[in-house]
A and B are shown apart, each in its own frame.
Chain A
Amino acid sequence: MTPAAGRAPSFSQTRAALVIAARGRAAATSTTPARVRVSVAVLAGIALGQALLPGALGPTRSGAVTHWGGWPLETALVASLLAASVSTFRVLDLLFRAPDARALAGLPLHPVAAAVDRLHAGLREGALAFAMAASLLLPALRVATRGIERGGVVAGLALVALAAVLVPTIAFAGQLLALTSTLQDRTGRASRGVTATPSHSVLQLAPGLAFAASAAALLLAKLGLEEPLRSLATEAHAEWTRAASLAVGLPVAATAAALVAALRACSKRWDEIGASVREADLLPLASPADVAAWPGPDSIARRLPPQAQPLYTALRVQLERASPTLTAATWIVAGLSALALAGGSARIAPDAVGALGAAWILVAVAPLRRASRLPGYSLFGAAALLDSDGAQVARRAAAARELIRHAAPLLLGSLAAGSQAGNAAVSILAAVTGSVVALSRTGSERAVVLTGAAATACAVGVAQAGPAVAAAAAAGLMLAGASALYQLVNGREKR
């Protein structure tokens, strides 16, 4: 056998092979005991919440039978945005940085088939996130069986289902088009020609822009789904109108157009786009040193056992360097939330601000997970400089510090908006639950399960705040489940 040059694989050949690979992954992960345990724990938490708060799974506004979507559609929108805030930030990793994507990078694939495979990966993971988001509609499903808000529930479920398809697709297309825009022809020679000019700013901005586009698309779709329900005010049946078609069809058409444009870009420049991302990931190695002096122990470190202090400080320094603008961004988000919601609709302010806080924390704490997986962390433990308890103390202290930095501003925002709406307890509860969930992300699967129980207990503790507590508890449980799935999908952190 002599060495062979090989040939370019066809679309169908690449697709067939990648589908086989995806089936292998699914078969390997579907029976993971940890996943089953977490799923059972989340369901048990929901059942516990139902047992302890039998009246909670009802309309959040007692006796209020509203039209054109009402609270189920509002809940669906908030839940979809919550899931979108995670999904849009995951797509770039799934495109080029996930282990499978890296393993495929060196193989000669049909570019469109490879891109479609990555889109499938985004849709698969998005389906999990949006399925968890749909659990917020559980109370609505219960009351829908009694004929209350049935149209709104159907519209809400339709919105979540639409979001599960639109959001990952928008993020996928947005990322690829943004990256394509960074590719330039440096040499002007067509024979070799185009080289990548990776830009950190594009990599950082694209997920945010994709989230904004997703939010706009979902808002438009919500308006469209509301439209037929207006007729319920005077008639027995909802009537689909041209305006509804336009409002739902526009984001779908725009997403489809963006997808086609992205796939066209992929067909021509898939390898260059991948190369530009890999190059951008390497750039920090080549940039000049801009590292400040090693800090002394802060007030948290001074309260830790001496053997845990170095690891705590190392984690803290890594987190600060990994996301230098995160704290400022947190304050900006908190301020804008408080301004917009406190001055806007008092009816949705507490829940919305709380959910926003929880979503932000869930996303914002991601750098902690990255930092805790740096090689230095495992070396620390492996060198037996710390016992496992000491390492755990340091890790949790660093997590707590992150939460103080990022939860506190949002908690203040929640408090402001909640006070304005006359129901601060619920917004605080949602933000605190989100914080606890975020903390659990830095720990073990057991911590996630305990978080679910804690969220339920919190809900019981402030039951007097009203039925809306059920929504907060459900949000906590949903986030705990999403967090557990996120950990499982991305691999468990090494201790």
Chain B
Amino acid sequence: MTTEHPPARLEVDSLEKRYGTHAAVDRLTFSVQAGELACLIGPNGAGKSTTMRILGGLQLADAGAVRVDGAAVPDAATAKRLCGLTPQELDVFEYLSGVESLRLVATLRGVAGVEEAAAAWLGRVGLAAVGDRLVRHYSGGMKRRLAVAMALLPSPPVVVLDESFTGLDPESTAALGRELRAYCDRGGAVLLSSHILDHVAQIADRVVVMRAGRCVGDHTRAELAALIPSRYATLTELYLDRTGASLAGDA
């Protein structure tokens, strides 16, 4: 008798994206289970942001498939419904206040109790005191926290965060980490890209390593525990080994 496993919450299958002759994403395959917080790491230009923009419906793949709960994501509109994306470029509504931004997202995503949800999420990301201020007056860190709240508020099946922890202070980092964990505990799947490998080592349930558009490492937390520190001293060492990079430079 065979046991059927439920489909992964997010499946990326042989995804390809080319810019002219340059393969930004090259037959990329990995998956994220429900309740998992997966981190996508890799050098600059590895294709992480392109992958995330495809998952969020901002770009279109040349080939390959994306599935959520086993169902193919046929187009960008469906991707936008199923995936909450926080792009690296911090695209926020500069002339709305924080609470107005969250209300707008809640309305567009069909969230019940728009006012309550917006107020609650402002508090969760530590922006309650400045919720009525225009977003254009927020600091970079505050904008990032707001952008993450905008992605998490509607509680989509998958949340994709492109370097959302960059520039955050330790308190905000810890608070957002708690929110992501709570979201995963409710059954969501998070895909987070980051270059802060110490932080990745702390929070990731799965680490996917990319190089030149390809997946060159895919490890669950248990697999990482078997590798670190017995084979690699740190996650950084594993990263350098998988990507072929060197901290010493070319000299």
CB contacts (< 8 Å) of A286 on chain B: these are 19-20, 22, 24
Q: Mark B52-91, 1 if CB is under 8 A from A, else 0.
A: 0100111111110100100010111100111011010101
Number of CB contacts from chain A to chain B under 8 A: 143
A461 sits at the interface (CB 8 A)? no
Inter-chain contact A24/B96, CB cutoff 8 Å: yes
Q: A6-B154, A192-B74, A278-B58 are in contact. Are A24 and B85 (CB under 8 A)?
A: no
Asked if A4 and B104 make an inter-chain contact with CB atoms under 8 angstroms apart, the answer reads: no
Q: List residues of B (169-227) whose CB comes within 8 Å of A's CBs.
A: 183, 186-189
- Check if B91 sits within 8 Å of A105, measured CB to CB: yes
Query: Which residues from B are CB-within-8-Å of A103?
Result: 91-93
Q: Given the complex of chains A and B, what is the CA–CA distance between A275 and B55 in angstroms? A: 12
B interface, how many residues as a size bin?
35 or more
Closest to B57 in A: A271
Q: Nearest chain-B residue to A21 (Cβ)?
A: B104
One digit per residue, 1 when the CB lies within 8 angstroms of any chain B CB and 0 when it does not, for chain A 1-42 equals 111111111000110110011001100110000000000000
Q: Is A100 an interface residue (CB 8 A)?
A: yes
Query: Which residues does chain A contribute within 8 Å of B87, judged by CB atoms?
Result: 106
Bitwise, A362-373 to B at CB < 8 A (1) or not (0) is 000000000000
Closest residue on chain B to residue A271 by CB atoms: B76
- Distance of A14 Cα from B57 Cα, bound (Å): 18
> Interface majority SS on A: helix, strand, loop or mixed?
helix
Are B89 and A102 in contact, with the CB atoms below 8 A?
A: yes
Contact B108 A17 (CB under 8 A): yes
A420 beta carbon closer than 8 Å to chain B = no
Residues of B within 8 A of A16 (CB): 107
For A50, list chain B residues within 8 Å (CB).
none
Contacts of A9 in B (CB 8 A): 108-110
Decide: A4 near B57, CB < 8 A? Known: A99-B94, A191-B74, A283-B19.
no
Known: A106-B85, A107-B105, A272-B60. A29 touches B95 (CB 8 A): yes
10 further interface pairs, Cβ-Cβ under 8 Å (given A2-B187, A9-B108, A16-B107): A3-B186, A4-B156, A24-B100, A25-B95, A106-B87, A108-B77, A108-B81, A271-B77, A279-B60, A283-B19
B→A interface (CB under 8 Å): 19-20, 22, 24, 53, 56-63, 65, 68, 72, 74-77, 80-82, 84-85, 87, 89, 91-97, 100, 103-105, 107-110, 134, 154-158, 183, 186-189
